[in-house]
Structure 1
Amino acid sequence: MAESAKESEPDDSQGSQQIDFDYVDLMLDGDLKAQVNYSFVKAVAAAFDEKVRLLEDAEQKVEGDEGEESFTEVAVPEIEAMAQAVTEGCVDFGKIHFWESCETAEIAWEESKDEEGNVVSRAPYGNPHEEPQEGNRILANLEKIAGWLREVHKTHEEKGMGWVSPYGCPEDGQHAYDRRSACITELDGIVEKVKSNVDL
């Protein structure tokens, strides 16, 4: 966890320092409940990102093969499963704060020097980004999944309702279409909740 106490000057000549906390850790210093919760968020973010990156790798491979089918056509089950895991799974992504879902600031250091100009101590502080960065990619991955699901939906409309049915049944396809439409709406709602959840 972050410590707000001043850090001693590092020994290396460049004055660089490896740190094992981020801006949110620093911001939550002293709030034990929030710190524990953020540690859970970081664990979820890592697991979530691992799964999304597998799909991104598959997307690059499909696009590189230059076949007739797009990634969203060949990966319909995987994309829908990922979306359903977000909307129906054990994690309520809508409760995640905006500043937990991306990187809004980075750690910077305020230096104190002695009379000879030597750095004697350094204290960390948050230096805000002009525009949020991806950070742990929770928000970016939510938006990525929603985008993929929209592409599946668009393809379904273009190819007809029987497209996703193993029997080419329009009725089965319509049920799948309606379920996916509801999932897209729920995903969009989660993204908006995260973006608007800026309070501590």
Structure 2
Amino acid sequence: MFLPVTCHAAWTASDNFESYSNGASLSGASGGSGWNGNWTTTLGTWSVQNATAANSTTLSGNTTSGSATLNRTITSISIGSYCFYMRNGSTTGNWYHVLNNSTGQATGYAVLMGFESGNIVAYNGGTGTTLLTGYNINQWYKICIDFGSVANTYKVSIDGGAYSSNLNFGTTGAVTNFQFYFGGGTGPNFSFDEIAPASGGSTYSPYVLEILSL
């Protein structure tokens, strides 16, 4: 007797930021594996800094313009699953993770989720859906995202909890870019780290990324 097996295209991209020298600029950096290009940035200076907490990658500075982005391209993919850690140093700065088909700020996005107005939200098409009401400042949250299991949808897990219901892509089709960006409001110190396939687990990192100025 043979049981049907659902095959998922593997997400391969990972970066724990431990291969970078302390103080080095992230722009053009090529650490990690499974990517289709190096890190690129818009607005501000992004550099690696030593962290004082586990799973750290901090973006901070005078973030008032709402257009700072960090991008890295991946080979075109329409199905996969991956995890990363994130935290926010305030409840007034809106920071997002995007999986999209352009390096433009949330342009052609499939996945759009992050910290917004004091909550962790994920977008269902063009509508924000609250996944966690009232996140804790400076608390690390492990985010896992499974996308494309149902065509043009994704779902989100927080800290190993159950996945959300399926959320619709904002733009349908394959994705080619992994992005974080500042979406407005005030308050620096958004942090992320340990990007890895969902099946690969994560380990603590001694480094932190920081927007020194915007």
Say which structure is richer in strand.
2
Say which structure is richer in helix.
1
Higher relative contact order (Cα pairs below 8 Å, separated by 6+ residues): 2
Larger Rg: 1
TM-score range, shorter chain: under 0.3
TM-score, normalization: structure 1? Answer: 0.19
